[in-house]
Amino acid sequence: MIIIGSLLIAGCGGPGLFLPDAQLEALRAGQSGDSRTVYFSRHYRVLDDERLSQTTHRVLRVGTNARTSPDILSTPDGSMERLQGFQARVSRRDGSSDSYSRSDLSSVNLSSSAMIAETSVKFLNVRTSLEAGDLVEIVTTHEMGLLPLGIRFSLDQAGDRSTNIHCSFEVRTGDTLQILVANDSLRPSITRHAATTVYSLSWPSFKGHESRFVLDRTNGTPIVFASVGQGRSPLTWVAFGDWYLQMINPKISLSGAHEEMARKITAGLSTPREKMDAIFNYCQKSVRYEQVYLSQGEFIPNEVTTIFNRKFGDCKDYSVLIYAMAKGVGLEPNLALCFRGRGRQFFGDITVSQFNHMIVHFQDGGDHLWYDGTNRTGLPGLTTDDLTNAIALVLTENNSHLVEISESPDNRLILNGRLRSDGNSLKGNLSIELRYQYAIEFFWTTFRLGEQETRDALLRWLRRDISEAMHVTSLEWRTDGHRFLIELDCEFENALTTIDSNTYVKPSRVFDSLLPDLVIDKMDQVFYYPYYGRISANVVLEGLGQPAGIASDGGVDRFAWRFACDLDPGPFDEEERADFVAHYTEAANAFRQTIKLRTTKEKP
Amino acid sequence: MRSSPILFFIVLLFHCPRIFADDFLRALPEEEFVQTVTQERYRNADAVIILKEQSYKTAPAIVWYGGVEYEGWNSTHTKVIIAKVFNERAIERYASFELTYREAFGDEITSGFEARARVLKPNGEIVEMDEEDVKIVVHRETETGDPISRKALFKVPAVSPGDVVQIEYTLTQPLSYSKSKIFYYNDRDPILFSNLYITLPHDVDPQIISIPEQTIGTPVVTQLDDAYGSGETYFWSLKNLNRIPEEPFSPPFADQSLITSFAFEPRAVSGLAVKPGWDRIARSFSEHFLNDDPVSDDRIRELGFAEKESPVTIETTDRLYSALRRMLVLDETNSPFPIGDDIETVFIKKKGDASDHAYIMMKILRQWGQDAKAVWIRDNREGIYEVAVPSIEWFDRMSVLVTINGKERVYDFDKSLPVKYDPAWYLEDASLVILGNDGCTHRVLQKRSSSGINTMVEHHSLFFDNQMQLRDSVGLRISGAPAQRFRASCYDLEESQLQTRIIALAKGNSLSTVDTLFHNNLYESPTIEMEILGRSQADAESIDSFLTIRPRNHFLRNFRDQIFSPSRLNHILLDSPFQISMDWRIDIPPGYALTVKPEDRSFSGVGKVSSRITYSATNQTIRVRCDVTFPQVAIEHTQYQKLIAVLDQITGALEGELLLKRL
C-alpha cells in the first residue's frame, strides 16, 4: 500500500545523539553467542531538492562468542553517501564508558583493480577490547546526493535478529512524501510540526530471510521505499525520467568522428532493427566491462566520447554509447532501468532505487527489443535470462513508463543421446543444445576463458545442471548462431537395477540435476522458477530390454526415453502460481517414473 | 658468466632509446615477433608474457625535511610487463592495475609512483594511456589522517584479445631500503624473457643466491661508478619459463618459481665490508625485538597463573597457550616483528598478531625461569626458505619453542589451530629458524604425521520415516590437518554464520534438508564433531516388491570436488597423509529383508591410495564400512587422472545398490 502525504505544517529537527543512560542500560538485558543489534534507528531528512541527510543510530550488544570486530565499527564514506558526523561510545558492564568522535576513525579506500571508486570505509578502533555484554552505541550522519533516486530502507540493514528498529522520514512543509512499506502491513505514524512532518515506522524485532525456499522471492524482507516530490505532486516515473535524461543530456553528444563510425557500422543496412543490432554488436564487442566510479559514477554515466575512446565502462556507459550511436543514425532508442537478478518482486508505484542496471530499449513496430552491452556476447534484442519477465523503466521525455521484459519463446535446453548398458552402468554419448537466452552465458564462458578453463566450467555446469552422477570421458563444444552445443561421451555408474529378468532405469537418477526435486510445502512461497524450465529430452537406451508389449528393433533392444516440459520462469501472481505448481508436479512425476524393461533375449 | 647472445637479442627486442619512445623504458616488440606468439603455440595459456623485467636499486641518500637532514637509503623498484593477451580472462589480469605501497612517513616524506601503459593492436596501432588516468589514493590512513599506505590504480584503455599490453611503473621509497629481497622469475602465465637487475652500493659485500643456480646462471655485473651512492648492477636474463597456474593442493608458487635473492650488510664503521649471515640477523632481531617489555604480574594472574609458576611442565605450557588463545584474538595479518615495546596494548585491545602472542608467551615462560626460544616460521603453505639466503624476508611470523625434559613443542598462533594444543600440519617436515643468544639454528621440529592422525570420519544412521522417506543422522568427525583447514575458514564467523556454513557442508553431499544440528566448540577442541539430522540424499526406490537403497558418501565426494580439474598441470601436494572412514548403519524397514549381501571389495591406486569396503547384515540392519587411506602426500601430475579414477571406482562401489525384498 502506498501513502502520499502533502505536508503543510512546520516542525522539528532530527533525533538526539546518544540514548538516555537508562534506556541504554535496558538494552543490555539478555545475552547471545552472536553480537546483536539491540537498537537501530534510521532517520532521513530532506535538506533541499537534491540532498538528503541520513542519520543512523545503532546499539550493538557484544556476544559471548565475539572474536572478531563487529561490522558496526565501520561506516561508508563516498561520493554517493558522504560521512558528515560520527559519535560513538562503548558502555561496559561495570558502568564505565569510552567516548569516540570522528577523529578516532581510520580509513580504508575500497578501490581495487576491480573497481576504482571514491568510496572508503571508516573504521573505529576501540581503545580497549570489547567484552560480552558491552554495548557499542554509534551515531553516524551521511549526506546523500541525487534525491530523486528515492530512498530504500531494508530491515536487512539493521541485521539479522536485531531488535527495536525504527525508521523515520522528515520532509519540509510543502513537499510530498510517498512511502511504500513492502512485505509488511505496517503503516507509518505521522507527526506534524511547524516546518516539517515526520513519518515513523517501528518494528520490535527482525529475523533474516536466509533460509528461504528456493522458489521464494529474494527480496521478501520488509523494505520501506520512499520518494520526495517537490510541492504537492508525488515524484512520478515520468518526472524521474525527465530529471535523469536532463541530467545526463550533456554527456551523450557524439563527436563527428564517432557519428561517422556509427554511420559506417550501419552502412548498407536498411531496417532500423538491423541498424540497432549492428551498433549493439559493435559496442558489446569493442567495450570491456570496468567499474570506474568517480563523481557519483555509480549512477551517472561517463561522457560518450570518453567511453568511445577508452573502450571500457559499466552498464550505464554501454547503454549511453549504444543510445548515442543509434540516435546518431536517426534511430529512436530509449535508455531503460531494470534489476539484474531473478526472484525480485517489483513494486510498480515507487521508486527508482529498486533498479540496479541500465540497458537500451528499442521498439520495432509492436516488438520490444532490449540491448544489454554488459553481456559482451549477448544476442541483439534479447537480455540474459536473469532479466526474464523483469520490469524495466523505459526513459522517454514526458513519457517514462514501465515495460515487462518478456522471455524469449525460443529458449530451450535439448538433451539427446544414446546410452547402452555396461554391467549396472550406462555408457554412451549425449548432445546438449542450449538455445537463445539459455545460450548467452555459454557464449560468455567461451569468449572469456581459455580452452582449459572452459572445459572446467562446462564440466562443473554438467554436474550442477544435468547430472552429478555422470563421468565425462570426452567433451566438445561449439557455438552456432543462437545455439550452444555440447557433445560428450559419458558413463553413469549404478544407473540400472536388475531384478530377475527385468532391468529398471530411472531417468531422474541418471539425470539427477536436470529437474530439481522440490518439495513444495507452502504455495505462497512459490514466486519464481530459477532453473531451466523449457526442456526436451530424447535419449535412446540400447541393450537394456524392451517395455512390455513393444517389440525389439530388428533383434536389438532399443527404447527411447522422451521427456519435455515448459515451465514458466515467473514471477507468478496468485493464479499463475497454482498453474506453475500443477505443471511442475506433472513434469516431475513424469520425470521420476521408473522404466521397467524386460529382456527379450537370453543374456550370454 | 651467462652467454652474451641472449642479452644481445633482448637488447635488440626491447631496447628503447628515449629519443624515439617518449618515457617508456622498453620498446614494444616488432610486429613479426608478436605474430609468432599465438594461442595455438601456447595452448591453454590466457596470455604470454613477452617480457617481465624487474629492477631494484638501493643506495644511500640524504633527505631534507623541515630543516633537518635525514641520512638513510632510498630504494627504487621498476617493473616492466609486456604481454600478449589471448582472452578476456587475460585482459582482466593485465588491463587493470593495482599496487599498494607503504608510506612509512605519512605525508611528511612521500614515496614516488609513476606508471605508463600502452596497447599495441594487431594492425600496428598504438593506444597510450592518458597520464591522468593513473589514480593514486590513500589506501589506509590513521585516525589523524596520516597515510599508512597508498594505492596506485589504473585501467589500460582499449584492450582486446590479440593485443599486446605494456605496463611500466617505478616506485621510489625514501629512507626505506631493504637489506635483502627475493625475486621470482616465473608468473601465472608463460614468460618468454624474464629479466632482473639488482643495483647495490659498490662498497658492500652482498650474498646473492639463485635457485636453481644451474638454470639461472651467474649474473652479468656492471660497475656503475665509484662515486658515493653509485653501485654495481647485477643482471640476469632467462627465457621460456613455464607458467605456474593456481590449482588446489599444489606446491606453493614460491617453491615452483625460479628465484634470485640477495642479502647484504652495510659496511662497518671501521670501513670493513660485512658478510650477511643468519647469526648476525638473529642477534640483531633478539636485541631489538625480544628484549622489550616484560608481561606484568597482573596480566599473568589475569591469564589464570601465579607470577611465578614452578615447576613448569608441558601441561603448564599447554595451559598457558590455551589461556592466551582464549584471551587474545588474532589479527588478520602477521609480521615477524612483535610490538614488544608496547605489549600492554595487546592486552588492552585483546588483539594482536601471531608474533605478539608468541612474544607474550615467551616472555612469561622466561619470567618463570623456563627457557623459551623465539622461532621464525615459514610454513608449508608458503613454501620452504633457502638457508643460503640469510633474510628475515622469508618469514611472516614468530612462534615459541619450549623444551621440557627433552620434549620439544612449537607453540604457533594461527587461526587454524584450536585453543587446546594441537600439532600444526603445516609445520611438519618444515625447517624452522630457532633463535638463540648467539645466533640461530635451522631445524625440523615436527616430523610428518601418519594418516591415522589426520582423519575424516563420517557415520550415517539411515532409517525410513513414517512417509517412507529416507532420513539420515550424520555424524562427522575431523581431526588433524583437515580439521585445521576447516577451522581456519571459520575463525572469523559469528555463531549463526558458522551454523549456516555447517548446514551448507551437510547439504553438499549428505542431506537435502537439515532438521537439527549439533557441533562441538571447534575453536576449543582439536577434533571437530558435528551431528546433523535431515532428509537423506541417499537414493531409495520402491520397485514392485523390492526396495533399493544406495548410500551416499560425504568426504570422498568432497575431496574429489576439491581436487577436480579437467587437465591438471601441477603436481598434487596433499597437506598430510590422511584417512577417510565411512560407516553406514541402515535400518531395514519392517517386512523387508536384504536379498544378497554384496561382496566385500578392496581397491588400490596411485599414491598408494588403498580402500576396503565391507558389508555385514542382520535381520534389522545393514552395515557398510569403508576406509580410504592416502599415505603419500606428493603425487605426480601425470598420475592425476588415475587418482580421480580410483576415487570414482571407490565411490561407485560404495554407492552401489542394496536390494531389499518384501517378505
Please write the tens of the pLDDT for every residue from B236-277: 999 999 999 989 999 999 999 999 999 888 777 777 777 788
Mutate to test the interface with B, among A92, A100, A116, A510 (most CBs of B within 10 A): A116
CB contact under 8 A, B329 and A128: no
DSSP B526: S
For residue B598, which of B646, B549, B658 has the smallest C-alpha distance?
A: B658
Q: What is the pLDDT of residues A193-241, one digit of tens each?
A: 999 999 999 999 998 866 678 999 999 999 999 998 877 677 899 999 9
d(CA B248, CA B517): 29
pLDDT level of residue A604 (50, 70, 90 thresholds): very low
Element (H, E) at B364: helix B354-367
Question: Is A271 part of the contact surface with chain B (CB cutoff 8 Å)?
Answer: no
Contact B491/B483 with Cβ under 8 angstroms? no
Closest by CA to B540, choosing from B650, B663, B655, is B655
Q: How confident is the model at residue B20 (pLDDT cuts 50, 70, 90)?
A: very low
Cβ contacts of A210 within 8 Å, gap of 6 or more? A160, B500
Q: Is the pLDDT of residue A9 over 60?
A: no
d(CA A435, CA A455): 19
Is A520 at the interface with chain B, CB within 8 A? no
User: Between A107, A112, A128, which is nearest B348 by CB?
Assistant: A128
Interface A-B, measured as beta-carbon pairs within 8 A, has a size of 156
Nearest CA in chain B to A71: B494
* CB B51, CB B193: distance < 8 Å: yes
A444 close to A437: Cβ distance less than 8 angstroms: no
More confident residue, A3 or A206: A206
B492/A68 CB distance under 8 A: yes
**Using one digit for the tens of pLDDT, what is the confidence trace for B581-605?**
999 999 999 999 999 999 999 999 9
Distance from CA of A232 to the nearest CA of B (A): 44
What is the spatial distance between Cα B172 and Cα B532, in angstroms, rounded to a whole number?
Answer: 56
Average pLDDT, chain B: 91
ipTM comes to: 0.89
Phi-psi region of A500 (alpha: psi -120 to 50; beta: other; left: phi over 0): left
- List the grid coordinates of A472: 565425462
Mean pLDDT of A15-43: 88
Average pLDDT over residues B508-520: 91
d(CA B350, CA B328): 5
B200 against A10, higher pLDDT: B200
Contact by Cβ (8 Å): A215, A134: no
Interatomic CA distance for residues B44 and B209, integer angstroms: 33
SS3 letters for A104-161?
HEEEEECCCCCEEECCEEEEECCCCCCCCCCEEEEEEEEEECCHHHCEEEEHHHCCCC
Q: What is the pLDDT of residues A119-147, one digit of tens each?
A: 899 999 888 888 889 999 999 999 998 88
Question: Percent of chain B at pLDDT above 70?
Answer: 95
Q: What is the pLDDT of residue B179?
A: 79
- The 3-state secondary structure of B404-465 reads ECCEEEEECCCCCCCCCCCCCHHHECCEEEEECCCCEEEEECECCCCCCCCEEEEEEEEEEC
Neighbours of B124 (CB within 10 A): 9
Q: Is the pLDDT of residue A148 over 90?
A: no
User: B326 in contact with A at a CB cutoff of 8 Å?
Assistant: no
Give SS3 for B653: helix
A205 near B CB under 8 A? no
∠ Cα B3 B6 B7 (to 5°): 90
Q: Do B98 and A161 touch (CB under 8 A)?
A: no
The Cα A537–Cα A539 span in angstroms is: 6
Better pLDDT: B615 or A69: B615
Q: CB of B529 within 8 A of CB of B544?
A: no
Judged by a CB distance cut-off of 8 A, whether residue B348 touches chain A is yes
Tell whether B274 lies on the interface with A, counting CB pairs under 8 A.
no
A589 torsion bin: left (phi>0), alpha (psi -120 to 50), beta (else): alpha
| Amino acid (1-letter code) at residue A159 | G
Which residues fall within 8 angstroms of residue B275, CB to CB, at 6 or more apart?
B205, B207, B265
Chain B interface, best mutation among A36, A109, A462, by max B CB count within 10 A: A109
Task: Identify the pLDDT of residue A550.
Answer: 72
What percent of chain B stands above pLDDT 90?
72
At residue B120, the 3 state secondary structure works out as strand
Phi, psi for A228 (deg, rounded to 5): -115, 125
Indicate the helix (H) or strand (E) that contains A483: strand A483-492
Q: Is the pLDDT of residue A26 over 60?
A: yes
Structural contact between residues A432 and A414, judged by C-beta atoms closer than 8 angstroms: yes
State how far the alpha carbon of A253 is from the alpha carbons of A294, A322, A326, A469, B209, in Å.
Answer: 20, 12, 12, 55, 59
Is the CB of residue A326 less than 8 Å from the CB of residue A343?
no
Looking at residue A49, its pLDDT comes to 64
Residue of A36, A105, A106 to mutate, interface with B, max B Cβ within 10 Å: A106
Contacting residues of A for B491, CB less than 8 Å apart: 67-68
Put simply, whether A67 touches B (Cβ < 8 Å) is yes
Instruction: Provide the 3-class DSSP secondary structure of residue B145.
Output: coil
Instruction: State the Cα–Cα distance between residues A157 and A171, nearest whole angstrom.
Output: 22
CB contact, 8 Å: B98 with chain A? yes
CB of A348 within 8 Å of any CB in chain B? no
Cβ neighbours for B289, distance < 8 A, ≥ 6 positions apart: B337, B338, B340, B359
If you measure CA to CA, which chain A residue comes closest to B494? A34
HSE-up (13 A, CA, CB side) for residue B429:
11
Q: Dig out the grid coordinates for A48 from the structure.
A: 533541499
- Among chain B residues, the shortest Cα distance to A500 is held by B546
pLDDT tens sequence across B456-468: 999 999 999 988 8
**pLDDT of residue A12 exceeding 50:** no
Chain B closest CA to A32's CA: distance in Å?
Answer: 9
Q: Would you state the pLDDT for residue A65?
A: 74
Report how far residue A109's alpha carbon sits from residue B100's, in angstroms, rounded to the nearest whole number: 11
Q: What is the tens place of the pLDDT at every residue in B178-215?
A: 678 999 999 999 999 999 999 998 888 888 999 999 99
pLDDT band at A534 (very low <50, low <70, confident <90, very high): very high
pLDDT at A248 > cutoff 60: yes
Residue A54 CA to residue A140 CA, distance in Å, equals 8
pLDDT for A603: 44
Of the ranges A5-19, A486-500, B333-347, B404-418, the best mean pLDDT one:
B404-418
Q: What percent of chain A has pLDDT over 90?
A: 69
Instruction: Check CB contact under 8 Å for B87 and A160.
Output: no
User: Cα–Cα distance between B182 and B261 in angstroms, integer?
Assistant: 4
CA dist A360 and A371 (Å) reads 5
Neighbours of A541 (CB within 10 A): 27
**pLDDT (average), residues B94-122:** 93
Question: CA-to-CA distance for B249 and B571, rounded, in angstroms?
Answer: 8
Q: Do B655 and A494 touch (CB under 8 A)?
A: yes
Distance from CA of A406 to the nearest CA of B (A): 30
Q: Which residues 6+ apart lie within 8 Å of A275 measured at CB?
A: A266, A269, A326, A329, A331
Residue B34 C-alpha cell reads as 608478436
The pTM for the full model equals 0.89
Q: What is the pLDDT of residue B177?
A: 57
Which is nearest to A301 in space by CA: A248, A371, A352? Answer: A248
B494 at A interface, C-beta within 8 A:
yes
Q: CB within 8 A of B597, min separation 6: which ones? A: B615, B616, B617, B622
User: Which chain A residues are Cβ-neighbours of B507 within 8 angstroms?
Assistant: none
- pLDDT (average), residues A532-554: 85
Contacts of A31 in chain B (CB under 8 A): none
A47 pLDDT higher than 50: yes
Question: B285: distance to nearest CA of chain A, Å?
Answer: 29
Strand partners, B458: B476, B582
Task: With beta carbons under 8 A apart, name residues in chain B contacting A111.
Answer: 98, 135, 137, 139, 151, 153
Spatial separation of the C-alpha atoms in residues B291 and B619, rounded to whole Å:
71
Strands A288-289 and A312-313: parallel
Q: Phi and psi (nearest 5°) for A393?
A: -95, 110
Q: What is the pLDDT of residue A32?
A: 83
